[in-house]
């Protein structure tokens, strides 16, 4: 599905790289990477069970705001990439930066720019989802905000249902 406005640029490559940085970036490791069993992260839906477990571990950590931001961006990108890969055709999802998403979808603009809205997945119409925000919610609330359950629900949605906060 092409992006309908030439001024918009999907950020699929950039967020794909961030998702890889979550797993390994020796020059700038992701906070918490010392507790990460990378072998459990293969971009499958099942790998999100390992992500839930890792997020639970991270809830016990004391990190600086900069480190929390880095962690949320990278782990949220990973969650979003799993959702992108398992979204069944004909639906597609593409990453948009906050500025472009806010210009397209008033709801995104109403939320304001934050680390949790810095990038969103867009369905090419009016539907957006917030994997970075879901990671932030898990960190605040725990297992009731499972990223695995979130992804399973989103992937199971019929093609005409695109949004989920």
Instruction: Evaluate if residue 9 carries a pLDDT over 90.
Output: no
* pLDDT on residue 163: 52
Query: Residue 122 pairs with which residues in a beta bridge?
Result: 94, 128
Residue 162 covered by a domain: no
What range defines the domain where residue 137 resides?
A: 12-88+131-156
* pLDDT on residue 3: 46
* pLDDT on residue 159: 61
Q: How far apart are CA 51 and CA 64, in angstroms?
A: 21
Residue 118 covered by a domain: no
Q: How far apart are CA 95 and CA 42, in angstroms?
A: 20
Instruction: Evaluate if residue 1 carries a pLDDT over 50.
Output: no
| Number of domains comprising the chain | 1
């Amino acid at each position: 599905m092409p992006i309908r406005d030439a001024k918009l640029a999907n950020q699929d490559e950039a967020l794909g790289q961030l998702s890889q940085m979550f797993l390994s970036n020796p020059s700038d490791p992701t906070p918490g990477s010392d507790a990460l069993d990378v072998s459990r992260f293969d971009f499958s839906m099942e790998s999100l069970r390992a992500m839930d477990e890792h997020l639970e571990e991270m809830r016990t950590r004391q990190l600086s705001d900069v480190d929390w931001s880095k962690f949320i961006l990278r782990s949220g990108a990973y969650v979003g990439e799993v959702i992108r890969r398992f979204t069944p055709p004909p639906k597609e999802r593409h990453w948009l930066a906050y500025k472009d998403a806010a210009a397209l979808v008033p709801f995104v603009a109403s939320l304001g720019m934050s680390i949790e809205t810095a990038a969103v997945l867009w369905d090419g119409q009016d539907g957006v989802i917030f994997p970075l925000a879901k990671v932030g919610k898990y960190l605040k609330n725990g297992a009731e905000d499972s990223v695995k359950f979130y992804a399973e629900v989103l992937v199971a949605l019929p093609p005409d249902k695109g949004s989920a906060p």
